[in-house]
């Protein structure tokens, strides 16, 4: 049993609807057998659990670990590649790199590198695309399992508009995905995600096959991309001339529902917004990616005001950082450009409980509450001289965390706890 002392950040509600005071600060939490068993005053927890080990983090923040709701771990090695928009990005950088994952040893190496980088930045759960190769899923899950992490991924399915060596078929996509579900879904803290890359790289037959598979395994998530760039939307219109809109290319094949997760979702039509809300599907905001490859500016605040579930993500490697702090900063900047800057409490919520809810894991991770899994990140609010001097002038917790949101990086991550275990402990 462990007691952690510090500035314990937790949420009592969604600050987008309940206001900033939905973020509260406590003094301590207690962990036992991977779960949070108490939150409250330090003296009370010490008295209640006198035999517990105590770790005092002083004025540092203890938060639920960051949750990255949309990642391409196979793009780890090509992050920050220059000068392309979406389609050229895929053809120039992504597809050649993903072809390397037919080598299981290479997949294991990149998966290990990705997890090391993600954990160094305080990310304790992620939902990732793999490649078409089943070994890429095995590599990801093996690395997550070795670290005791809650993590999600799925074989990326593509049977057209991709190079030789990166195409499967409708049948092999179904068969491979079904076998991977049987091998990994629900094992330890792992979850399988049915994963058509996006409509342009899947034929209607493949989308229907994956829709049928999802119908057989409705407890799985389904992830894909939606309305990321305007030229992509025009491409989709040409490929699916009978579809009402981009979302309909999924809906007509059984790929819309409460466990659906749509990355980007920037340029949505009114019907698409309404159907996503009606069906309870979730969207994922990828701000560093949206600016890096010139996709556009998601109006997240307006969507949240309508009641949408929205997670936050780095979109590695179209996104330009592994850091959820940097991702929060980009979300703030895009909010400014859209006329509605996000409050620090809203930003922190998006990177933790918001992403957890988007993944339908909000009852397990993403907040510090009794009964939640103890995935935690410890944040130094004075990690650099520039951040420290601004933090020194803070009048409340929101002013205290905002300089770290805007200027923080992996130097701000003091410690990470996974399922109640301290990763840096001897």
Domain range list for the chain: 2-64+367-422, 66-358
Q: pLDDT > 90: what percent of the chain?
A: 96
pLDDT over threshold 90, residue 86:
no
In this prediction the pTM is: 0.98
Using left for φ > 0, alpha for ψ between -120 and 50, and beta otherwise, residue 366 falls in: left
Give mean pLDDT, residues 239-264: 98
pLDDT per position as a tens digit, 358-368:
999 999 999 99
pLDDT per position as a tens digit, 344-361:
999 999 999 999 999 999
What per-residue confidence (pLDDT) applies to 38? 98
Give mean pLDDT, residues 138-161: 98
pLDDT per position as a tens digit, 390-404:
999 999 999 999 999
pLDDT per position as a tens digit, 192-213:
999 999 999 999 999 999 999 9
Give mean pLDDT, residues 12-33: 98
pLDDT over threshold 80, residue 424:
no
What per-residue confidence (pLDDT) applies to 415? 97
Give mean pLDDT, residues 253-274: 98
What per-residue confidence (pLDDT) applies to 426? 45
Give mean pLDDT, residues 95-102: 96
- Tally of CB atoms within 10 A around 214: 23
What per-residue confidence (pLDDT) applies to 425? 56
- Partner residues linked to 225 by β-bridges: 263
pLDDT per position as a tens digit, 282-341:
999 999 999 999 999 999 999 999 999 999 999 999 999 999 999 999 999 999 999 999
pLDDT per position as a tens digit, 69-80:
999 999 999 999
Average pLDDT score over the chain: 97
What per-residue confidence (pLDDT) applies to 78? 94
What's the CATH code, domain 66-358? Answer: 3.20.20.140
Query: Could you name the CATH architecture of 2-64+367-422?
Result: Roll (2.30)
């Amino acid at each position: 049993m462990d007691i952690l002392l510090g500035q314990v950040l937790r949420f009592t509600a969604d600050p987008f609807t309940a206001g900033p005071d939905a973020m509260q600060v406590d003094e301590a939490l207690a962990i036992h057998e991977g779960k949070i068993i108490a939150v409250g005053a330090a003296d009370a927890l010490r008295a209640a659990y006198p035999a517990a080990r105590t770790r005092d983090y002083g004025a540092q923040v203890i938060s639920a670990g960051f949750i990255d709701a949309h990642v391409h771990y196979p793009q780890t090695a090509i992050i920050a590649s220059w000068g392309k928009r979406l389609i050229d990005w895929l053809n120039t950088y992504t597809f050649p790199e993903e072809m390397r994952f037919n080598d299981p040893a290479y997949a294991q190496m990149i998966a290990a590198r990705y997890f090391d980088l993600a954990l160094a930045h305080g990310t304790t759960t992620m939902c990732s695309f793999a490649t078409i190769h089943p070994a890429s899923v095995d590599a990801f899950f093996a690395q997550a399992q070795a670290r005791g992490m809650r993590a999600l991924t799925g074989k990326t399915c593509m049977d057209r508009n991709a190079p030789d060596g990166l195409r499967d078929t409708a049948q092999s996509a179904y068969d491979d995905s079904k076998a991977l579900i049987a091998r990994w879904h629900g094992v330890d803290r792992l979850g399988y995600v049915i994963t058509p890359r996006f409509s342009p790289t899947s034929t209607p037959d493949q989308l229907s096959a994956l829709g049928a598979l999802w119908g057989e395994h409705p407890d799985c998530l389904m992830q894909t991309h939606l309305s990321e760039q305007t030229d992509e939307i025009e491409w989709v219109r040409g490929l699916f001339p009978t579809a009402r809109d981009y979302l309909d290319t999924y809906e007509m094949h059984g790929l819309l529902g409460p466990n659906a997760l749509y990355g980007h979702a920037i340029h949505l039509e009114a019907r698409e917004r309404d159907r996503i809300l009606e069906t309870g599907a979730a969207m994922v905001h990828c701000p560093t990616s949206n600016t890096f490859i010139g996709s556009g500016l998601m109006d997240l605040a307006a969507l949240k005001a309508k009641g949408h579930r929205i997670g936050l993500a780095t979109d590695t490697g179209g996104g330009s950082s592994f850091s959820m702090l940097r991702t929060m900063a980009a979300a703030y900047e895009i909010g400014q450009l859209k006329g509605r800057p996000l409050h620090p409490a809203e930003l922190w919520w998006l990177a933790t409980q918001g992403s957890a809810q988007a993944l339908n894991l909000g009852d397990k991770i993403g907040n510090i509450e009794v009964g939640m899994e103890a995935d935690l990140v410890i944040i130094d609010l004075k990690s650099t001289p520039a951040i420290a001097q601004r933090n020194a002038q803070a009048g409340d917790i929101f002013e205290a965390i905002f300089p770290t949101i805007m200027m923080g990086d992996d130097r701000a991550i003091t410690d990470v706890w996974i399922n109640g275990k301290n990763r840096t402990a001897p």
